[in-house]
Structure 1
Amino acid sequence: MITRFHQHTLNGVFMDDNASPHGDRFVRAQLKEVEVSHIDWPAMSPDLDPVEHVWSMLKQRLDDHTPPQSDLAELHEALVE
């Protein structure tokens, strides 16, 4: 996954929030191997994490959609409207 991330976002930055999977030796080795830039990020700080705002907006979009989605196609349609 890290290699794929790096291929698609050559100038991307990995925001390390100290989650336990990020500390795994394999993950650390992959980050070092592909030379992904990273920022040490405070743990448990969703207010500082941009992706949390995106998840919140997507959730709100789904909550506002009536009727609720019943399959993957409807979910996709509701998210891209």
Structure 2
Amino acid sequence: MKIKDCYDNTRAHRAAAVREFLDAEGVQQMSWPTCSPDMNPIEHAWDALGRAIKERHNIPQTLQELAQALTEEWDALPTDNINKLVDSVPRRPNALIRVRGGHTRY
């Protein structure tokens, strides 16, 4: 299995122990811009989950109900959509550089 990890420049992600562990495990590392959570594809997944939860007939009232609803909605996300988000990861930093930190299509 091929694993990629996107990390920003926070101290925890720069720690030698973390880098050595990821190298030893064969995890390909990809630098990620700091302060750019909008560039992270998981934000699109969270948005889809939030919209799906709001559209439910029975909105979760407890943490347990919310956890169950999130699990159900995550399982219902189309695999093609998730794959497209993952496939877009390598293009995102270059798009951000091209617009000098401005708005991108992501």
TM-score w.r.t. structure 2 length? 0.54
Equivalences for residues 8-23 of structure 1 within 5 A: 10-23=1-14
Q: SS state of the match for residue 12, structure 2?
A: helix
Identity %: 34
Matched, 1:69 2:61: yes
Structure 2 gap segments, 5+ residues each = 74-106
Deviations 1:2-46 (A, max 9, x none): xxxxxxxx2121112112211122111101211211111111122
Please give the alpha-carbon distance, in whole angstroms, between the structure 2 residues aligned to 1:23 and 1:50: 21
**Contact 1:18–1:42 (CA under 8 A) maintained in structure 2:** yes
Matched, 1:59 2:61: no
Please give the alpha-carbon distance, in whole angstroms, between the structure 1 residues aligned to 2:61 and 2:48: 17
**Cα deviation, residue 64, structure 1:** 4.1
Q: SS state of the match for residue 23, structure 2?
A: helix
Q: Number of paired residues?
A: 71
Please give the alpha-carbon distance, in whole angstroms, between the structure 2 residues aligned to 1:15 and 1:40: 6
Please give the alpha-carbon distance, in whole angstroms, between the structure 2 residues aligned to 1:40 and 1:21: 14
**Cα deviation, residue 67, structure 1:** 3.5
Structure 1 gap segments, 5+ residues each = 1-9
Deviations 1:30-78 (A, max 9, x none): 0121121111111112222111211222233334444333141x12332
Two-structure CA RMSD over aligned residues (Å):
2.0
Please give the alpha-carbon distance, in whole angstroms, between the structure 2 residues aligned to 1:17 and 1:35: 19
Seen in structure 2, the aligned counterparts of structure 1 residues 20 and 75 have a Cα distance that, compared at 3 Å, is same
Tell me which residue corresponds to 1:36: 27
Tell me which residue corresponds to 1:26: 17
